Amino acid sequence: MLKLILENALKKEELEQYKDRVVTINKAINEKTLPGNDYLGWAKYPLTYDKQEAEQIKKDAEYVRNHFDVLVVCGIGGSYLGARAAIEALNGIKSTSKPEIIFFGQTFSPNYTAQVLEYLKGKKFAINVISKSGTTTETSIAFRLVKELLEKQIGKDAARKAIFATTDKETGALLTLARKEGYQTYVLPSDIGGRYSVFSAVGLFPLACAGVDIDDFMKGAYDAMATFDNDDLHSNICYQYACSRDYFYRKAKKSCELFVTYEPQFTQIGEWLKQLFGESEGKMKKGLFPTSATFSTDLHSLGQFIQDGSPVLFETIIYVEKPAYDVLVPHDDLDLDGLNYLENKSLSFVNHQAFEGTLQAHTQEGKVPCIVLELDSMNPYNLGYLFYFFMRACAMSAYLLEINPFNQPGVEVYKRNMFHLLGKKGY
Ligand code: PA5
C-alpha cells in the first residue's frame, strides 16, 4: 500500500488553505467543467475500460509469447513512456524473460536505429506500433523500417499476423493502413491523451506481452481511483501531494521537483513522471521543472548540488520497501577493502541505510524539503495504484495553477521548424 510521508517536507497545517479549492476542483474533474474537459477519459477509465478488448489483448499477448522471441514496440512520448516504465519496474533491466521487449521509434538516432535493425536480422519478432495520430515522424520512420525488415524475413502474409497496431478508433493514417493490411488493432480512446494512456491498450498490450498480469495492474488503478476521487483533503494523500507541490512552487518559491528512486529499474518511472508533469503543467510561463535521479548512483554526480547548491528544488522520493531479489555481502579473508563489517548484511539493508542517511542529510543540513512516497513492494497492483495516484495528482496540481493539464501547444513549435527544414509540404 502507498504511504505519503510529509514530515520531512512541510507541516500539514500549511495545506489547510487548499481545503476548499480541492473540493471545487475535484467536483470540476468529475463533472468535466474545466478547460481540457474532453480529455478526462482517463479519470474513470479503470472502471469504464473495454473489458472485451482486454481479453483480446491477453489472448494476443499469449500468442506473441508463444511464437516470437522479440516484441518491437514502436512509439514515442505518451505512446512509449508508460509501457517502458512499467515493464522495467516490474521485470527489471536485465530480465531474460521471453519475448525480449525492444522500444523503437522514440528517436531519430541513426546509430540506435541501425543497431536495432541489425540486431533483429534473423530473429523471430513481432511489432506493436502505437500512435494516436498515426503520423508522428519518429514512430512512422521506425515502423516503416521495421515493417520492411519483417516482410523481407517472413513474407507479407505472415508479417500481417505479427503486426499489432494501437491507434485512434476512427481516424488516422495508421488506422487506414491497419484496415488495409488487416492488422489486429487496439484503441487509444479519443478522450485520453498520450501521457494519461498507460491503462489503455497503449500500456496493456506491451505489458501483457511482457508477462505482466494486466488484471492486477487495472485493479490497482481501480482501487486508486476509488480512493482518490475524494474531496476531503485531510484523508486524501493524492491531493495532499498535489497541494504540497503547489505550496513549494508558489509559497516556498521552488522551481524544480526532483523525482528520486533507489532502484535503477525505476529510472523510467522518473522519465514517465517528467512527461506527465512537464507537458501537463509547463505552460503560460508557469510550472515546476520536473527532473529525476536514481540514488545512490546519482549521489555521486548530482549529490553535491542537491546538498549544497542553489536552493531551487524539493524532492519526491519513491521508496519501495521490499525488493524482488536480495544479495548478501560476502566475507573476504584479506578484508583489504574493509567491508567485512557488512559481512552477511543484505544489499536491501545497505540501500535502506543509504536512503535514511541521505534523507537526513538533504533535509536537515541541506534544507531540501523531501516528500516520501512509500510502497511495500513493486508489483502490478501497486504500480497501477501508483500511476493513477500521479495522474490524478497531476490534474489537481495543474488546475490549482489554473492551467489546462491536457494540451501541449508548446510541443508543436519545434515540429514546425523541423518540418520546414526537412522540406515537408505546407511548412
Ligand atoms: O502526451 C502526448 O500527447 C504526446 O507525448 C504523444 O503521446 C506523442 O507525441 C506521440 O503521439 P502519437 O501517439 O500521436 O504518435
Provide the percentage of residues in the chain whose pLDDT is more than 90: 98
375 touches 320 (CB < 8 A): yes
Distance CA 328, CA 342 (A): 9
Mean pLDDT along residues 68-78: 98
Q: Which helix (H) or strand (E) holds 396?
A: helix 380-400
Distance CA 23, CA 32 (A): 14
Q: What is the pLDDT of residue 204?
A: 98
Q: Which atom of ligand 1 is nearest to the CA of 196?
A: 1
Alpha carbon distance, N-terminus to C-terminus of the chain: 50
- Of 328, 239, 308, residue with least CA distance to 24: 239
Helix (H, G, I), strand (E, B) or coil at 178: helix
Provide the percentage of residues in the chain whose pLDDT is more than 70: 100
Residue with the smallest CA separation from ligand 1 atom 3 is 194
Residue from 67, 152, 234, 415 carrying the catalytic annotation: 415
Is 300 assigned a catalytic role?
yes
Q: What are the pLDDT digits (tens) for 366-398?
A: 999 999 999 999 999 999 999 999 999 999 999
Distance CA 136, CA 202 (A): 15
Q: What are the pLDDT digits (tens) for 164-211?
A: 999 999 999 999 999 999 999 999 999 999 999 999 999 999 999 999
3 touches 228 (CB < 8 A): no
Q: What is the pLDDT of residue 275?
A: 98
Burial group, residue 273, by CB count within 10 angstroms (0-12, 13-18, 19+): buried
Q: What are the pLDDT digits (tens) for 334-344?
A: 999 999 999 99
Phi and psi of 164, rounded to 5°?
-120, 125
Residue with the smallest CA separation from ligand 1 atom 2 is 194
Instruction: Write the single-letter amino acid at 358.
Output: T
Q: What is the pLDDT of residue 111?
A: 98
Mean pLDDT along residues 128-132: 97
The answer, yes or no, to whether the previous bond of 296 is cis (omega within 30 of 0) is yes
- In angstroms, what is the C-alpha Rg of the chain? 22
261 in ligand 1 pocket by Cβ < 6 Å? no
Length of the chain: 427
CA of 329 to the centre of ligand 1 (A): 44
CA angle, 247 then 249 then 251, to 5°: 55
106 in ligand 1 pocket by Cβ < 6 Å? no
For residues 388-408, b (16+ Cβ closer than 10 Å) or e, as one string? Answer: bbbbbbbbbbbbbbebbbbeb
Q: How many CB atoms sit inside 10 A of residue 364's CB?
A: 10
Q: What are the pLDDT digits (tens) for 136-154?
A: 999 999 999 999 999 999 9
Grid coordinates representing 392?
Answer: 490524478
What's 289's DSSP letter? E
| 64, 155, 261 from 117: Cα distances, Å | 19, 17, 32
Mean confidence (pLDDT) of the chain: 97
pTM, rounded to two decimals? 0.97
193 in ligand 1 pocket by Cβ < 6 Å? yes
194 in ligand 1 pocket by Cβ < 6 Å? yes
Q: What is the pLDDT of residue 178?
A: 97
Is 415 assigned a catalytic role?
yes
199 touches 54 (CB < 8 A): no
Is 253 assigned a catalytic role?
no
76 in ligand 1 pocket by Cβ < 6 Å? yes
* Beta-sheet strands, E only, within 182-312: 184-187, 256-261, 289-294
What's 364's DSSP letter? I
Q: What is the pLDDT of residue 73?
A: 98
Of the pLDDT bands very low, low, confident and very high (cuts 50, 70, 90), residue 412 is confident
Q: What is the dihedral of CA 39, 209, 267, 255, to 10 degrees?
A: 0
Distance CA 273, CA 259 (A): 8
244 Cβ contact partners less than 8 Å away, ≥ 6 residues apart = 6, 9, 10, 15, 371
Of the pLDDT bands very low, low, confident and very high (cuts 50, 70, 90), residue 286 is very high
For residues 274-310, b (16+ Cβ closer than 10 Å) or e, as one string? Answer: bbbbbbbbbbeeebbbbbbbbbeebbeebbeebeeee
* Beta-sheet strands, E only, within 209-269: 256-261
